[in-house]
């Protein structure tokens, strides 16, 4: 089969959907691979490296004319026009973007949105949300440390003792856990909050303190369990109790990293304007939920702003800042996904009974597939 790897055109997107490592595997499996010239440059992969792995280098039109297209983000309208009806497209296509999915369906594309894969053991190796969130959680801490005007670790020097930074992590999924681990390596003292009960043990096993927000009703306890490993919106009463506790912890914090998301919904507000006002001057917030509306109402998409003396970082898509590793891990996720839809004779076989395929296939045969 002919596999196309276009360059990503979305502003700020530095990743690429295949690396020389994965291309060698596609070529060994008797596929031919065409990479758009310069597709890997932002991730430090040269065209020569792709060629050495067995790929051809071509134009955007040639890459989009392949039978199977591997992308990071959904194609733009101009790119879609280059894709032939009947083509299979794999990428982080945003399953909640109904307009784009309808446009891809109308164009005759069979599209797989990898973010929609279920959180089951068999899907772990193709879990793009996890591979990218892990990178983003790490980078969030480095960005905070870079903006923070003090040390992270406790230091005893001849000129006096420096206190360790206090870091508060809001939302402890994949990104939050990596943020805890990274801040710990830098010597910070860490506290964390999440709605889901199993998180407490994970937080403590990384040497951080869990902020216990008690559940007062069976309904709260039930909603807190989430669905499919994801959080659900908590009742207002629980959110108010969490906010009161977080307000007190935020006053002590030097750095807050917020990662809390509810799939398909606006991110919950966890750090209010009142809380920011009460924080120490010079403290730092990294709002990793900024693209979903933000966990702090004062964060601004794509900007670092200073409000009430607090620096609030609203950089979106942090994984793109580690383009080489983000691409390497993403490309391996894609390779593992393709094992589900390509048989040993290098032919496409789309088994809609497969749980992962059924969840990720967002359109096929001209139809949008309802989930």
Q: Which residues bind ligand NAD (CB under 6 A)?
A: 119-121, 123-124, 127, 129-130, 133, 170-176, 193-196, 229-231, 234, 259-263, 268, 270
Residue at shortest CB range from ligand NAD: 173
**In angstroms, what is the minimal distance from the CB of 238 to ligand NAD?**
8
Which CB sits closer to ligand NAD, 91 or 137?
137
Q: How far is the CB of 105 from ligand NAD (least distance, A)?
A: 26
Decide whether 122 or 163 has the Cβ nearer to ligand NAD.
122
Sheet with 367-368, side-by-side order of all strands: 56-58, 32-36, 2-5, 68-73, 88-92, 110-113, 361-364, 367-368
Q: Which is nearer to ligand NAD, 18 or 231 (CB)?
A: 231
- State the minimum distance, in angstroms, from the CB of residue 58 to ligand NAD: 35
User: Shortest distance, CB of residue 127 to ligand NAD, whole angstroms?
Assistant: 5
Rounded-to-integer distance, Cα 196 and Cα 6, Å:
39
Phi, psi dihedral angles at 336 (to 5 degrees)? -65, -35
Angle between helices 174-185 and 128-147 (to 10 degrees): 40
The active-site residue, picked from 36, 110, 130, 193, is 130
Q: Is 218 designated active site?
A: no
Q: Catalytic: 127?
A: yes
299 is catalytic: no
Q: Which of 15, 110, 127, 194 is catalytic?
A: 127
CA distance 101 to 93: 8
- Residue among 20 and 173 whose Cβ is closer to ligand NAD: 173
Question: DSSP alpha helices (H): ranges in 109-217?
Answer: 128-147, 174-185, 199-205
Of 124, 149, 233, 252, the active-site residue reads 124
- 249 given a catalytic annotation: no
Q: Name which of 175, 110, 189 is nearest 140 in CA terms.
A: 175
The DSSP secondary structure of 4-49, one letter per residue, reads EEPPP-STT----S--HHHHHHHHHTT-EEEEETTTTGGGT--HHH
Which of 76, 85, 119, 252 does the annotation list as catalytic? 119
Cβ neighbours of residue 311 under 8 Å, at least 6 residues apart? 147, 282, 283, 284, 285, 304, 305
Q: How far apart are the first and last CA of the chain?
A: 29
The residue among 120 and 240 lying less far from ligand NAD, judged by its C-beta, is 120
73 is catalytic: no
| Residue placing its CB nearer to ligand NAD in the complex, 36 or 259 | 259
- C-beta separation of 174 from 137 below 8 A: yes
CB 3 within 8 A of CB 30: no
**Pairing mode of beta strands 2-5, 32-36:** parallel
Least distance from ligand NAD to the Cβ atom of residue 80, Å: 28
| Shortest reach from residue 134's CB to ligand NAD, in Å | 9
Please give the backbone phi and psi of residue 288, each rounded to the nearest 5 degrees, phi first. Answer: -75, -10
How far is the C-alpha of 352 from the C-alpha of 199, rounded, in Å? 33
Residue 357 CB, nearest distance to ligand NAD (Å)?
16
Q: Which is nearer to ligand NAD, 19 or 295 (CB)?
A: 295
Catalytically annotated residues: 119, 124, 127, 130, 230
């Amino acid at each position: 089969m002919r596999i196309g790897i276009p360059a990503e055109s979305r502003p700020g997107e530095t990743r690429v959907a295949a690396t020389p490592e994965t291309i060698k595997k596609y070529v060994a499996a008797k596929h031919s691979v065409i990479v758009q010239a310069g597709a890997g440059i932002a991730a430090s992969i040269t065209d020569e490296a792709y060629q050495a792995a067995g790929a051809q280098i071509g134009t955007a039109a040639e890459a989009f004319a392949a039978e199977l297209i591997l992308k990071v983000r959904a194609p733009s309208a101009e790119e879609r026009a280059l894709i032939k009806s009947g083509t299979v497209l794999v990428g982080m296509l945003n399953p909640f973007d109904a307009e784009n999915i309808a446009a891809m369906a109308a164009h005759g594309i069979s599209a797989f949105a990898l973010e929609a894969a279920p959180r089951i053991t068999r899907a772990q190796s193709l879990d793009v949300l996890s591979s990218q969130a892990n990178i983003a959680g790490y980078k969030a801490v480095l960005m905070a440390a870079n903006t923070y005007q003090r040390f992270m670790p406790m230091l005893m020097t001849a000129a006096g003792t420096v206190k360790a930074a206090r870091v508060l992590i809001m939302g402890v999924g994949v990104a939050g856990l990596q943020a805890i681990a990274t801040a710990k390596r830098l010597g910070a003292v860490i506290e964390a909050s999440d709605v889901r009960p199993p998180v407490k043990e994970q937080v403590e096993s990384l040497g951080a303190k869990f902020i216990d927000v008690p559940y007062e009703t069976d309904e709260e306890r039930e909603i807190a369990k989430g669905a499919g490993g994801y959080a659900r919106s908590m009742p207002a009463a629980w959110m108010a109790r969490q906010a009161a506790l977080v307000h007190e912890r935020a006053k002590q914090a030097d750095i807050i990293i917020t990662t809390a998301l509810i799939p398909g919904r606006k991110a919950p507000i966890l750090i209010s304007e009142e809380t920011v006002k009460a924080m120490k001057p010079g403290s730092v917030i990294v709002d990793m939920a900024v693209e979903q509306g933000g966990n702090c109402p004062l964060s601004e998409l794509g900007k670092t702003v200073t409000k009430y003396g607090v620096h609030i970082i609203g950089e979106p898509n942090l994984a793109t800042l580690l383009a080489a590793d983000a691409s390497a891990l993403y490309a391996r996720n894609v390779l593992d996904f393709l094992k589900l839809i390509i048989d040993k004779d290098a032919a496409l076989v789309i088994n809609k009974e497969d749980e992962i395929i059924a969840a990720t296939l967002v359109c096929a045969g001209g139809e949008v597939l309802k989930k």
